[in-house]
A and B are shown apart, each in its own frame.
Chain A
Amino acid sequence: MKPPPFHYHGPVTLGEALDVLAEAGPGGKVLAGGQSLIPLLNMRLAAPSHIVDVNRVPGLDGIEAGPSGVRVGALARHAAVERSPEAAAAQPLLRQALRLVAHPVIRNRGTVVGSLVHADPSAEMPAVLALLGGSVRLASRTGEREVPAAEFFTGPMESALRPGELAVSAFFPALPARSGTAFHEVARRHGDYAVAGVAAAVALDEDFRIAAARVACVSVGPVPVVVDVTGECGPRPAASVDWEAVAHAVRDRIEPEGDIHATADYRRHLTGVLAVRALLDAACAARGEES
């Protein structure tokens, strides 16, 4: 469990980082929090020839929260985003989701943007980005591009990031007034990747009827699966929604697979249960109530 040989680079400016990445090409890998990359190296499941450690690059750890949403820099740690009151105020789903990501010591080093680029279909933050319709900003020596979530996640552990690119930040949009969010998941042990998990966002109209309802499901497809259930939920108050029908709609749209921890059938069942729980909580939050 020792990594194969690689060249280590520790750039101290963004320009230098992009230069090194450009030269390294497909053999280059960015090292952020290292919580996913280092285990892959130690198990010799990845053998990049160049590791570009961006931890010394200044200005990448920003968390900018405003009325339109939250922009999270490449070196903002899970823990920093989780604890930021401004981020929680602008987009409460960030904190709700981050509490479910691993354990505190891992959140102290792991980064939100690293989690997005890593694109594990069981991870929480890709689902959050997908649900909110956020985006990732990618920089390279030749310029920057902003890739929307729907195009960013291309497969299990695969993203739109190209060789030579550095993800410099991600943007998580805020939701309109009278909206609420929630994240429910079942993991085998506290802090493990979820067997199934659902992020939900609900918007109410002026009469507190559900105007829009969406869920993003983890661990049930190659990428986070976003399901719009506005049709099944609205326009009705949460109390008079046929939740069994909603669960059914969600179960219909996912493609879970069985593995050593759970059968596909259980994942499908569970995702329906969690979707209803998350939507009910999100509707409560949208009314400004505690769930």
Chain B
Amino acid sequence: MTTKLFGEPVRRREDARLITGQGRYLDDLGAGALAAAFVRSPHAHARIVDIDVSAALDVEGLVAIYTWEDLPGALAEPLPLLIPHPALTHGRTAYPLAREIVRHVGEPVVMVVARDRYLAEDACALIRVDYEILKPVVGVEEAVRGVHLVHEDVPGNVGAHLVQEVPGPAGQTAWEAIDAAPHRLEFRLDVERSASMPLEGKGVYARWDADDESLRVYSSTQTSTSVRMAIAAKLGLPLPKVEVIAPDVGGGFGVKIMHPWPEEVLVPWAARQLNHEVKWTEDRREHFVSSSHERGQVQHVRVGFDDDGRVLGLEVEILHDHGAYTPYGIIVPIITSTQLLGPYKVGAYRVEFSSVYTNTVQVTPYRGAGRPQGVFCMERTMDKIAAYLGKDRTEVRAANFIQPDEFPYDQGLTFQDGRPLIYDSGDYPEALRMLKELIGWDSFPEEKARAAAEGRRIGIGVGCYVEGTGVGPYEGGHVQITSDGRVHVSTGLTSQGQGHETVFAQIAATELGVPIEKVSVVTGDTRRFGYAVGTFASRAAVMSGNAIALACRKVREKALRIAAEALEADPRDLEITDGMVHVSGVPSASIPLATVAVLSNPLRYAFDEEARRATQFAGPASDDRPPVAEGEEPGLEGRDYYSPIRSTFAAGMHAAIVETDPDTAEIKILRYAVVHDCGRLINPMIVEGQIHGGVAQGVGGALYEKMVYDEHGQLLNASFMDFLMPYATEVPRVETAHLETPSPLNPLGIKGAGEAGVIPVSAVVASAIEDAEGIPIDRMPISPSDLHALRQAR
């Protein structure tokens, strides 16, 4: 059957457009727009004494200069705190343009609008801002000392403090369980900062229609619906007068779920003020210093375990670097502290985090969103237990696994969606078995000995994770079949290149029984779908995928009802194949969906041949009931929503073989293997692509990427020359195997896949380097220079 596409490796339909330069990105739009640029703070912490714009006024082509003083109403208030939480007792957000105090290098102070970006930057260079320098706070440990404060009214720089505890089987606290355990270990781990770093930075382009008093905004965002609401609120516009569209977006990876960015409200406001299109395209330097970072944590771990390596009690204390503001709440450390547990039962657990302010760029979720740190913590713990007991590292893990017959498994914690952390399904022992086979775990010792005989050092590493995916609250889908037989699917969440056009079309084609070529998909356009949350947390397939399937089922049911009448058959005897509704087993008794669409919409006017069939004198319609029956709607369309009770939990296990050069300390990943379980696969090729991309970012986090702040709060590597993202040459070939344990929570049985690849990579690479070198690896990323220093210190 040509229309059974769910589960097939269908080629990505968006690729032809995206890889041949036909994409329509933010900066491809608005050729006639004025350009905005920003004067940003050169200091990490300072008081603005004076802003002198006089020299800039002579720049030819200058249109406007705005400071905080110019902002009216809600725009002059701090930006929203998007995700409040009771533990976030001292949440703070920035003003769109700095008011009095700047708290990190890169904070916007003055907005300039000019004829083009060159002139706007010329004007920026001529604006003089006098600052009184204040003491900057850099690094979490400096922050908790609380000697200097990022926000005067936040004592100790602590924005949030949260403890979660799960008692052991006999009700003992983690502390008691650890104390009573036969063996104990205690250690510290460090994870550096990194960032989403999409190839396309942020960008906003706004058009104000003065006659209609309406606004159209294009933004390179992961959530157009929510940006729309934010703009309406900040500018005091009625919601129906604002439309927001996410055009092709060149990567998001989390940073573009943050919103509204200052520019997302300032650019539309300026467009209205000036009654002229305005556009701002972020450049790379701006992206480094004025968007978001992630990862940075210090963790103190105490663990107690038995002779088999079974964890009896675990205590983790996390210092989380939140940067200067907390607009996205404390989602990242919450995810770290809950997802840290991975596929394991740890007896009694206590996790405590302090989320602290520093005079650095704010921290909001980046692909993995706190999980890479948590998994690093748990997996380093597993390796340390194995080393302590002299056991195989996979054996220790297996001893702690939740077993397949224990699902649903309640970890006893509260997850990022405010709901209980209950794993829906999984098969961890099988995943580990598959992984060991894929990488050749059991024969590695011989391989290692052979290499050693040649003077080469190699090591193998492993890491496991569980990922809560598809968080609510909801997504919706709208499906319309038009009288030409085409199927128009829309959903409100956005795309950043993941392949949504393909997988959503696969789902619709499968549900409706139509050729995939007939299906078109629109995402992230509030003109088409106004209710949505956004693309993040590996949720698009789970949320919109299921919503679209449910919407399709409504449409299908209606189509069968109408077709049954036309064919004088029972709807239960009908099926749809290749766009034709027919009586099962009787292909000749059929009617095209296109015709069903015509019949579904009683017409007065015939605008083409097809439409004649639906007009008032054309048909046999009975005259004892209204043309549109009660409870019916005209048209062959359906809308439905999917709102899950809680997240669904995907899982995976990775292994790597690395080689370290005994002389130069260079580190090379020789092999990288992934076993991945995201429930039922809609498109295995797209899932693999997601894994490859995630692993590439994970390799960045493990071996290359860090944000190097000096003690003054200056970011020393704010360019692609010094912030080292791996090239294709640094990313290993990824070998994958899939396990499918369907989710019982949603109609399609799927789990999210978007973030998976990145999550365990630092843990896996650390494990492998440790195996090669015999030196504990407790801090990531690790460079050849770092490895050399560790060797020297041995």
Contact = CB atoms under 8 A, between A and B. Distances in A.
Interface of A: 1-5, 39, 43-44, 186, 188-192, 195, 260-263, 265-266, 269-270, 273-274
A266 B783 CA distance: 11
A270 B789 CA distance: 12
Nearest to B717: A260
B662 to A, nearest CB: 10
Contact of B724 (A1, A189, A274): A189
A269 B117 contact: no
Given A189-B724, A190-B727, A266 B704 contact: no
The 7 closest A-B pairs by CB, nearest first: A190-B729, A262-B785, A1-B283, A266-B785, A2-B118, A273-B663, A266-B788
Contact of A189 (B664, B704, B788): B704
B785 A5 contact: no
Contacts of B730: 189-190
Contact of A188 (B665, B704, B708): B704
B285 interface: yes
B788 A186 contact: no
Contact of A262 (B663, B716, B721, B783): B783
B664 A265 contact: no
B285 A261 contact: no
Interface in B759-794: 783-785, 788-789, 792
A150 B436 CA distance: 58
Contacts of A189: 704, 724, 726-727, 729-730
Contacts of B719: 43
A186 B664 contact: yes
Dominant secondary structure of chain A at its interface with chain B:
loop
A266 B665 contact: yes
A218 B663 CA distance: 18
B570 interface: no
A54 B344 CA distance: 66
A47 to B, nearest CB: 9
20 contacts: A1-B283, A1-B284, A1-B285, A2-B117, A2-B118, A4-B121, A186-B664, A189-B730, A191-B727, A191-B729, A195-B784, A260-B722, A261-B724, A262-B783, A262-B785, A265-B788, A265-B792, A270-B784, A270-B788, A273-B664
Given A189-B727, A269-B788, A4 B122 contact: yes
B666 interface: yes
A224 B635 CA distance: 76
Contacts of A270: 664-665, 784, 788
B755 to A, nearest CB: 24
Contacts of B789: 263, 265-266
Nearest to A103: B727
A4 B37 CA distance: 14
Nearest to B722: A260
A261 B283 CA distance: 24
Nearest to B35: A2
A16 to B, nearest CB: 27
Contact of B708 (A1, A260, A274): A260
Contacts of B721: 39
Contacts of B726: 189
Contact of B783 (A44, A188, A191, A269): A188
Given A43-B719, A186-B666, A273-B664, A5 B122 contact: yes
B49 interface: no
B274 interface: no
Nearest to B703: A188
Contacts of A3: 118
A206 B284 CA distance: 57
B125 interface: yes
Contacts of B788: 263, 265-266, 269-270
A262 B730 CA distance: 18
B716 A260 contact: yes
Contacts of B121: 1-2, 4, 44
Given A262-B784, A270-B665, 11 more contacts: A2-B118, A2-B121, A39-B721, A43-B285, A44-B125, A189-B704, A260-B722, A262-B783, A263-B785, A270-B664, A274-B664
Nearest to A264: B785
Nearest to B725: A189
Contacts of B666: 186
Contacts of A1: 121, 283-285
Contacts of A266: 665, 784-785, 788-789
Nearest to A1: B283
Contacts of B704: 188-189
Nearest to B729: A190
Interface in B600-626: none
A135 to B, nearest CB: 30
Nearest to A247: B663
A56 B665 CA distance: 46
A21 to B, nearest CB: 25
A244 to B, nearest CB: 12
A270 B729 CA distance: 22
Contacts of B716: 260
Nearest to B116: A2
A2 B281 CA distance: 12
B169 to A, nearest CB: 48
Contacts of B792: 265
A4 B727 contact: no
Interface string B265-301: 0000000000000000001110000000000000000
Contacts of B708: 260
Interface in B78-122: 117-118, 121-122
Contacts of B285: 1, 43
B783 A261 contact: yes
A1 B286 CA distance: 9
Interface in B684-739: 704, 708, 716-717, 719, 721-722, 724, 726-727, 729-730
Contacts of A192: 724
A214 to B, nearest CB: 22
A5 B285 CA distance: 20
A261 B727 contact: no
A190 B668 CA distance: 12
Contacts of B118: 2-3, 5
Contacts of A195: 784-785
A270 B791 CA distance: 13
Contacts of B284: 1
Given A43-B285, A260-B708, A266-B665, A188 B724 contact: yes
A44 B283 CA distance: 13
A270 B661 CA distance: 11
Contacts of A274: 664
Nearest to A270: B664
Interface string B164-207: 00000000000000000000000000000000000000000000
Contacts of A261: 722, 724, 783, 785
Contacts of A191: 727, 729
Nearest to B117: A2
A52 B792 CA distance: 50
A256 B304 CA distance: 45
A270 to B, nearest CB: 6
A39 B664 CA distance: 31
Interface in B626-669: 663-666
Interface string B663-682: 11110000000000000000
Nearest to A263: B785
B263 to A, nearest CB: 16
A112 B290 CA distance: 37
A274 B122 CA distance: 46
Nearest to A193: B721
A44 B117 CA distance: 14
A186 B727 contact: no
| Residue picked from A2, A3, A186, A192, most chain B C-beta under 10 Å | A2
A62 B171 CA distance: 83
Nearest to A186: B664
A181 B591 CA distance: 79
Nearest to A272: B663
A273 B663 CA distance: 7
